[in-house]
Amino acid sequence: MTTQTTTPQTPAKDTAGANTGLVAIPPHIGRALATGGGVLTVVSAFLAWTWTSAFPGDLTVYGYPGGLQVLVLIGGALTALFGLASYGVKGLRWLAPAGADSAIKLAALAAFATTWYTIAAMSAQLGGLANLEPGGWIAGIATLTALLGALSLPFERPAPDPFDPDDSSWEQFRHKARHQRTVVKAAFAAGTSKPARELPAFAEILVIVAALTLGLIVFTYGIGTEYDELFVGFLVTAGFGFAAAAKAGLVNRVSALTSKHRTVTMVGAFAAAAAFPFTQSDDQYATIGVYILIFATVALGLNIVVGLAGLLDLGYVAFLGVGAYTAAMVSGSPSSPFDLQLPFWASALLGAAVAMVFGVLIGAPTLRLRGDYLAIVTLGFGEIFRITVLNMDGTSGPDITNGSNGISSIPNLNILGFDFGQEHSFGGFTIARFANYFLLMLLITLVVVVVFRRSSDSRIGRAWIAIREDETAALAMGINGFRVKLIAFALGAALAGLAGSVQAHVTYTVTPEQYQFAHVVPPNSAFLLAAVVLGGMGTISGPLVGAALLYLIPAKLQFLGDYQLFAFGLALVLLMRFRPEGLIPNRRRQLEFHEEAEAPTVLSKAGA
């Protein structure tokens, strides 16, 4: 009897025993070409790519990368770093715990795609390839060489299962033990005597701080792209760069560190987010930031309903509208039928409470339904809410919401003498209106994150997960399914109403058109559900990242005109095809879509 063993790092081989890739180049030569091409790409970014400054970004300066050259430099640097890590360079092995070959391919593809997109854009705008300087040609040849070398590298087995911070202590212990065995096998397969040693605690915290700082830099750069070509290049580089880091196992390694130091991570994440307004010279991009936070907070509330309890709610944006209209009516607006101006904390609590009441009223008669039937009912509720507030104009119904004109002239918030509509200076930094609301919304987001975390770790949270996985089995085990689902529905509605109370003051006006199922500008029910699925159902960071992308990308793709939604939809289709579990999934959902990731472990224990 023989035992068949398979490790995640064992490269594929053909019948002759040689490593195989997409390009017929020996892997050791291909690895050298990829690494050398990455280095040459970095050098080319410091050369002039064109002779005229008519192309945005000013690519005419020697020794100073500008515009898209910075993105190409990043792609080339990633290719070179992963290439050196594949050679076992001391200090760089930590970057690729799951193997560097797949990461080299994606990093080289990022540099190649951004470079040749830039060349094509310059040719189209300037009138042909004759407008390129030698630096542009060097960059094109270098990235092509690196890509060909990367494509000669062998394909790899699936990487180890990602670390899931939502696992129980016993599940985390089993996963850590299995991960250590995998790393040891990979180290011997790569010819090294031992894997990269673990870092001391202070170094792990420094890695977390570096990761959060990098996230802030990437977000600030993406939100501040000044022209269309630069944003497209940013999407290409950021997308392939993240995929390369994930393939190398670096994302899983950082996720394990953040779970180990959870308190440090949470404090650091919100400190990095709070620093965002101070990185802006005006209020232009802080405006986008506050809307992203509103969208993300509502998506996180929907994640309780969809991600934890498994209830498909297509009318969730109506609860945002309930909170917004409630806060607008009691905040001193001249359009409000009530001559009342409550302090913010009272209007926010009232908006959350009224939304929760609506959640109970809607959920009580409908939550006995399942699946598509529940989705249709919630979709109907969303439309009923919009039509109702539209008709409360004094003509078709009572004069409460002012009909299609909505409630306007909502005054700025004033909390303890702090006017959110005025500029304020802190330590030499001046923040304007939307930056003030960004910091307020960040506190609201923190409250929602704490509620989500506490709820998911509680007894009711485990009941939600049981209902999501198999409602029939959960009912057989004694879980009161109706009560559990109603609590999820009410809590999700309350969190949406809380965010809506801030949205009313940020936008100055609430109108029925803002709360449709599908609307050009998010948040709406379709985009909220997409943010949860895209980011990763059942996680905290997933919906936050998904909401940021789903708000930022349409705002930056307006230059596509009528093709904007087509390009956006195509990107979602491709993402769901290649990563259906979401950008930041938990381990349970990833195994649902990629069960073959467990195959090597099973085969290693099988006997023939």
- Three-class HEC string of 243-299: HHHHHCCHHHHHHHHHHHCHHHHHHHHHHHHHHHHHHCCCCHHHHHHHHHHHHHHHH
By DSSP bridging, strand 414-415 and strand 418-419 are: antiparallel
Helix axes 201-223, 541-556, angle to 10 degrees: 20
CB 103 within 8 A of CB 245: yes
Instruction: Give 146's pLDDT tier (boundaries 50, 70, 90).
Output: very high
Rg (CA), the chain: 26
Q: 509-563: per-residue pLDDT in tens? A: 888 888 887 665 667 777 888 888 888 888 888 888 888 888 888 777 777 767 7
Domains of the chain in start order, with CATH, are 27-260 (no CATH), 287-421+429-556 (1.10.3470)
Among the residue ranges 4-18, 373-387, 535-549, 569-583, the one predicted with the least confidence is 4-18
Let me know: does 240 contact 114? Beta carbons within 8 Å.
Answer: no
Q: What is the pLDDT of residue 325?
A: 92
Q: Which residue has the higher pLDDT, 266 or 604?
A: 266
pLDDT at 570 over 50: yes
Q: Can you name the residues that pair with 3 across neighbouring β-strands? A: 607
Check residue 588 and give its pLDDT. Answer: 64
pLDDT tens digits along 393-414: 878 778 888 888 888 888 888 8
pLDDT at position 8 is 41
What does the alpha-carbon distance between residue 12 and residue 158 come to, in Å, rounded to a whole number? 12
Please give the structure tokens belonging to residue 447. Answer: 């409250």
Q: Is the peptide bond before 523 cis (omega within 30 degrees of 0)?
A: yes
Span 221-231, average pLDDT:
85
Q: Compute the average pLDDT of residues 209-214.
A: 89
Q: What is the mean pLDDT of residues 26-32?
A: 89
Residue 256 has pLDDT above 50, yes or no: yes
- What tens digit of pLDDT does each residue of 424-443 get? 777 677 778 888 888 888 99
Q: Which residue has better confidence, 145 or 171?
A: 145
Tokens 């559900």 locate to 529
**Is 177's pLDDT higher than 70?**
no
Q: What is the DSSP string of 117-140?
A: HHHHHHHHHHTSGGGB-HHHHHHH
Does residue 194 surpass a pLDDT of 80?
A: no
**Mean pLDDT computed over 458-463:** 89
The pLDDT confidence band at residue 591, using thresholds 50, 70 and 90, is low
pLDDT above 80 (res 106): yes
Q: What is the mean pLDDT of residues 284-300?
A: 86
596 pLDDT band (50/70/90 cuts)? very low
- Predicted local distance difference test score (pLDDT) of residue 40: 95
Instruction: Report the share of the chain in percent with pLDDT over 90.
Output: 19
Helices (H) and strands (E) counted in the chain, each on its own, are 22, 4
Q: What is the pLDDT of residue 116?
A: 94
Measured over all CA atoms, what is the biggest interatomic distance in the chain, rounded to whole angstroms? Answer: 86
Residue 169, classed as helix, strand or coil, is helix
Structure tokens at 537: 């159902």
Is the pLDDT confidence value at 374 over 80? yes
pLDDT score at 184: 43
Show the tokens assigned to 142: 């270098």
Q: What is the pLDDT of residue 12?
A: 41
